[in-house]
Amino acid sequence: MKTFKIAVIPGDGIGNEVTAEGVKVLDTFAAIKGNIQFEYTYFPWGCEYYLKTGNMMDVNGIEVLKGFDAILLGAVGDPSVADHVSLHGLLLKIRQEFNQYINLRPVKLLPGAPCPLKDKGPEDIDFVVIRENVEGEYSGVGGIRFENRPEEIAIQTAVFTRKNTEKVMDYAFKVAQKRNKFNKVTNVTKSNALNYSMVFWDKIFKEIAANYPEISTETNHVDAVSMYFLQRPESFDVLVASNLFGDIITDLGAALQGGLGFAASGNLNLEKEFPSMFEPVHGSAPDIKGKGMANPIAMVWTVKMMLDFLLEDEDTAAIIEAITQVLLEGKSLTPDLKGSAKTHEVGDAICEKLKGLL
């Protein structure tokens, strides 16, 4: 029996509601397999914790988290705390301290999920975005001078290191190899306007591409990529993007795959020097919190990604199949999908389907 130690940070709002369903699916999967189990430790960190203690997480939280195999996070944020405080105090802190330099974002439209593009279907929307996750435009380097005076200035500097950029690019090519779809990587750039950072980015892309002669490449500016997502999503396989550009195009990707209720992500430290963190892309949704209306599918997809990072087991694909069956059946769907089921009923339905598949 292999035991995985999972740190669970449900966070705020619907983070709590969807995390319960993710854990339910993990336990169902483990029970069916019989040779793995999960040991959960819950951390009450988030905005409520901040209002009580002045910190978003325990002061030695990073130290404590080091001992886990993975971190499962719900969502963080509440109207009572400024968003830049909640984001920097927990999520960004974990991403940076644990050098989770890859943000992995599958964009896949499942049969039965709503797509905003009228002539596109599940066969057209199936790609992966690899987003650089610890530096670039979000490095936090900069400053403000002459605050609140007419001559006030704000400077925000993007930082790109060779070491990190190489690793991110290399991972994109490895993912393309593994997917074996079109064996293609699209470089998302803006080197016409950003004449230092993105010219450097393109140079590293070319260097790494040379190591993978069997993988074809294409380089597109980020604005064009945004347009192509809508016009020809079927042409994409793997994309690699900087922190800011990846952030923006993955929200567009979320829309293509049916909305935030479907968008899952992994923050990876590939060397496993530190735990990686898995989270749905959506926020804490204060507008629907506590009502049992949250769609847990993004979280269920997220735990599938966590399983794929922790173990090599093709059976994890059954989790996506179980979600698909629930979607196609249409009986257990939350209001965002025009259903009337509660969050926990969707989780239960997915677990039932999973039991029938494995």
Residue 237 binding Mg ion, by CB under 5 A: no
CB of 119 to ligand NAI, least distance (A): 25
Smallest distance from the beta carbon of 55 to ligand NAI, in angstroms?
17
* Position among 247, 279, 336, 348 found at the interface with Mg ion (CB under 5 A): 247
User: CA-CA distances (angstroms) from residue 31 to 24, 35, 266, 358?
Assistant: 11, 8, 24, 11
> Quick check: 299 and 21 in contact, CB under 8 A?
yes
Q: Which is nearer to ligand NAI, 136 or 209 (CB)?
A: 136
Min dist. Cβ of residue 135 to ligand NAI (A): 19
Closer of 99 and 284 to ligand NAI (Cβ): 284
Contact between 170 and Mg ion by CB under 5 A: the answer reads no
Contact 49, 57 (CB under 8 A): yes
DSSP single-letter state for residue 234: G
How far is it, in rounded angstroms, from Cα 15 to Cα 38? 20
Closest listed residue to residue 104, CA positions, set 125, 73, 127, 130: 130
Q: Check if the beta carbon of residue 195 is closer than 8 Å to that of residue 203.
A: no
46 binds, among ligand NAI, Mg ion, none (CB under 5 to 8 A by kind): none
Residue whose beta carbon is closest to Mg ion:
247
| Helices of type H across 218-330 | 222-231, 243-256, 297-310, 317-329
136 binds, among Mg ion, ligand NAI, none (CB under 5 to 8 A by kind): none
Q: Which residues bind ligand NAI (CB under 6 A)?
A: 14, 18, 75-78, 83, 91, 260-261, 279, 282-288, 294-295, 298, 334, 336
Distance (Å, whole) CA 252 – CA 122: 16
CA pseudo-torsion sign 102, 108, 112, 117: positive
Buried b vs exposed e over 156-187: b needs ≥16 C-beta within 10 Å? eebebeeebbebbbbbbbbbbeebeebebbbb
Cα dihedral 185, 191, 194, 199 sign: positive
Residues 6+ apart with CB under 8 A from 167: 101, 102, 270
State the binding partner of 7 from Mg ion, ligand NAI, none, CB within 5 to 8 A by kind.
none
Q: Is 78 in the site for Mg ion (CB under 5 A)?
A: no
Cβ distance to ligand NAI smaller for residue 14 or 129: 14
Q: Which is nearer to ligand NAI, 122 or 292 (CB)?
A: 292
Smallest gap, in angstroms, from Cβ of residue 19 to ligand NAI?
A: 11
**Which residue number, 87 or 270, has a Cβ lying nearer to Mg ion?**
87
Q: DSSP string spanning 262-283? A: G-EEEEE-TT-SS-EEEEESS-
- CA count, 13 A, side-chain hemisphere, 318: 19
247, interface contact from ligand NAI, Mg ion, none, CB < 5-8 Å by kind: Mg ion
Q: Between residues 74 and 233, which has the closer beta carbon with respect to ligand NAI?
A: 74
| Sole window of 42-50, 92-100, 198-206, 246-254 interacting with Mg ion (rule: CB under 5 A) | 246-254
Binding partner selected for residue 294 from ligand NAI, Mg ion, none, CB under the kind-specific 5 to 8 Å limit: ligand NAI
For the bound state, the minimum distance from the C-beta of residue 131 to Mg ion, rounded and expressed in Å, comes to 9
Residue 302 has a CB neighbour count (10 Å cut-off) of 27
Nearer to ligand NAI, 152 or 287 (CB): 287
Nearer to ligand NAI, 112 or 286 (CB): 286
User: Is residue 69 a contact point for Mg ion (CB under 5 A)?
Assistant: no
Judged by CB under 5 A, does residue 126 bind Mg ion?
no
Closest contact distance (angstroms) between CB of 31 and Mg ion is 34
User: Can you give the binding site for Mg ion, defined by CB under 5 A?
Assistant: 247
